[in-house]
Amino acid sequence: MKLRYFLAIVLLGVFGVSFVTLANYVESTGKVKGKVKIYDKTKKYTRKGVRKAKVRLYKKNGKRVDSKKSKKSGRYKFKDVKKGRYFMRCSAKGYVNAKKPTRAKYKTGKFKVKGGKTTKKNCRLMKIQ
């Protein structure tokens, strides 16, 4: 009988520590998702996304953290991003920065990633004419 209680307490302790560790991990990381959108001077922003655009995530100090390619719809997602301040750069072959057409890459402003939350950030590119 005592052995049964002992084993139950040990198992609860092991699983309890695992759940606490998992909860702490979830609270220390977040997600960043969005869409690389096509800008058209006549229509403003279109609903179409840029396929296979390079989306790079940087810490606020300029160190690259991760890199993804957008899907066919232009959507991308970064998972398990440590909470903190970041910015992104987006680029694609045949496109330029929609705000500054003399530049090939679009740079977002700095944004904050919070633990357990999803941050939405879009990029805007314009097709080279």
CATH code given to domain 30-127: 2.60.40.10
The residues facing 85 across adjacent strands are 112
**Has residue 115 got a pLDDT over 80?**
yes
Q: What are the boundaries of each domain within the chain? A: 30-127
pLDDT digits (tens, 9 = 90+) for 44-93: 667 789 999 999 999 999 999 999 999 999 999 999 999 999 999 999 99
pTM: 0.75
